[in-house]
Structure 1
Amino acid sequence: MPAYDAILAAPMCRLGASFTGDALTRLDFLPANTPVSARQDSRARQLARELDAYWHNPGHAFDLLFVPQGTPFQLRVWHALIRIPAGQPTTYGALAKRLGTAARAVGQACGSNPLPILIPCHRVMAAHGLGGFMHSSSGTSLDVKTWLLAHERRAD
């Protein structure tokens, strides 16, 4: 397991957070039995507050510095993901059409997203069904995507 600056509790799992300076640069889904960080610095406390606001209101706009690292194409897709409203998922094809690219390329960029939840790649689905999540088409990853989508639908 990579070294994380903080491991936070989430309703469906644990989240491993990595920071570069003050910026959040990675957020990973971890097994629910992963121990949470006993002590948190100010960056982790702010992230925990922001996530708590999201758990209570999926429409919450995150107010913390986060800097995803990726290719120019990935960054373009991730920027488009941020504009998808909570509870209103779209498809890989529809997003690809808006960006003038292929659905498979959008799917690859979504799967490489280093900051899920903040950059809501879970809001992109296949034309028929959930599609994948974090480069996986089954198992725990898809369980997390299902939970996040249901969480956002409940808030509508």
Structure 2
Amino acid sequence: MNAAYLNTPVGTLTLIEQDDAITELLWDKRQEGLCTALLQEGLDQLGAYFEGRLDRFDLPLAPAGTDFQQQVYTQMSAIPKGETRTYGDIATALGVPAQPVGQACGSNPIPVIIPCHRVVGTGHLGGFSGAGGVETKVKLLQGEGAYSLLI
């Protein structure tokens, strides 16, 4: 396993690469393995995102998850920077109840890059599984200019 980390406004984030794809983003510092060209590109893109210079990540991703979770990850990845969708919006698109969508969002192994922070409840922010919980979700949405749309 190869890993590389970056200090960001929401804490230290570590990217994990396996088999030439990003498989995880962790909310702490891990110093295992080699910083490959792909990991360096991921760090560069994360840095550009937090500086407001990147609207869409372009990295090979291989998040672990069930077929349903993969469908939710695809829906989340399609949400443009600066916009949000509700759990209900994604549920409607997939033809399922909203609760499993929320659970799939919480299982996202590559947050920020697969933007689960852009999924909110109807009339509330919903949860966030990253370090710092909802406060981190708010910071991410504020950084994208999306939080003011919710209040």
Q: Structure 1 length normalisation: TM-score?
A: 0.83
RMSD of aligned residue pairs (Cα, Å): 2.4
Instruction: Compare 80-89 and 41-50 and name the one that shifted more.
Output: 41-50
Letter in 2 for 1:148: L
Shift of 1:141: 1.7
Q: Deviations over 1:11-64 (max 9, x none)?
A: 22011221102211000122xxx5878x83323211111112211337522122
Report if aligned partners of 1:133, 1:142 keep a CA contact under 8 Å in 2. Answer: yes
Question: In the alignment, is residue 78 of structure 1 matched against residue 65 of structure 2?
Answer: no
Identity of aligned residues (%): 37
The 1:75–1:22 alpha-carbon spacing in structure 2 relative to 1, beyond 3 Å, is same
Within the alignment, does 1:89 sit opposite 2:84 as a pair? yes
Post-superposition offset of 1:90:
1.3
Deviations 1:66-109 (CA, angstroms, capped at 9, x unpaired): 11111000000110111111111111112211211111010000
- Which residue, out of 90, 100, 106, partners 1:105? 100
> Structure 1 residue 20 and structure 2 residue 48: aligned?
no
Q: Distance in 2 between matches of 1:81 and 1:58?
A: 20
Asked whether 1:123 is paired with 2:118, we answer: yes
Q: Who is 2:8 aligned against?
A: 10
For 2:137, the equivalent position in structure 1 comes to 145
Measured in 2, the distance between the counterparts of 1:80 and 1:21 equals 24
Amino acid at match of 1:107: G
Query: Unaligned regions of 5+ residues in structure 2, if any?
Result: none
The residue type equivalent to 1:68 in the other structure is: P
Q: Which runs of 4+ in 1 moved over 4 A?
A: 34-37
Residue identity matched to 2:92? K
Secondary structure of 2:27's aligned partner:
strand
Alpha-carbon distance between aligned partners in 2 of 1:97 and 1:106, rounded to the nearest angstrom: 10
Listed as ranges, the gaps of 5+ residues in structure 1 are none
Please, what TM-score do these two structures have when normalized by structure 2? 0.85
**Structure-2 residue corresponding to 1:68:** 63
